[in-house]
Amino acid sequence: MNRKSSPAVISTGTTSLVLIFVLLCMLTFSVLSLVSAQANLRLSRLSAQRTTDYYAAENAANEILIDVEDAARSAVQARYLSSVNYDSQGPAFAGEVVKRMREPDSVSVTEDGQLLYQVPLGENQVLRVQLRVFPEAAEGGWHYEITAWQAVSGYDWTNEDTLQVAQPGQMPTGLDG
């Protein structure tokens, strides 16, 4: 048997086409990786800014909280000196605490005698803090209890479009002539 060598099936043109295809695939994946990396960088920067804003607002809220505690202790001390009798959790004691604060305009008293204040948190959010204050020191020696400490939207949404809704007597029945 006489065997002849067969010519190569893959020629240089086919090899070039495969190489071009591989290079195009690598270019596509590199562009996708670059776009993904830029999106991740943007998201990381936003997350870092959001975290920085939150902790700055939390520090400001804690400064007000320290002022509330100092004012509560001052009100308790004045109560003992002048024998004023406050309710255990009433609005009278909360009002006295606010009067004794360094910046009383930053805190308001709710109807049920709790203190409420808000600290800006970024563009459209605020850190909302609500406290219950006591003339007697609670657990840990503090004159307050935190009832709410949360980030809430500071954006006021108003509906600019109205939708006309048919009233029960105005509905077409399809049975008219």
**In the chain, where the domains are located:** 39-153
Per-residue pLDDT reduced to its tens digit, 66-82:
999 998 888 888 776 55
pTM (2 d.p.): 0.67
Q: Please tell me what DSSP assigns to residue 157.
A: -
- The whole-number pLDDT of residue 29 equals 97
Classify the C-alpha dihedral 138-140-142-145 as positive or negative: negative
- The whole-number pLDDT of residue 174 equals 63
| The two structure tokens encoding residue 4 | 């002849």
How many of the other CB atoms lie within 10 Å of CB of 67? 19
Nearest to 71 by CA among 106, 121, 118: 106
Please list the ranges in the chain whose pLDDT falls under 50: none
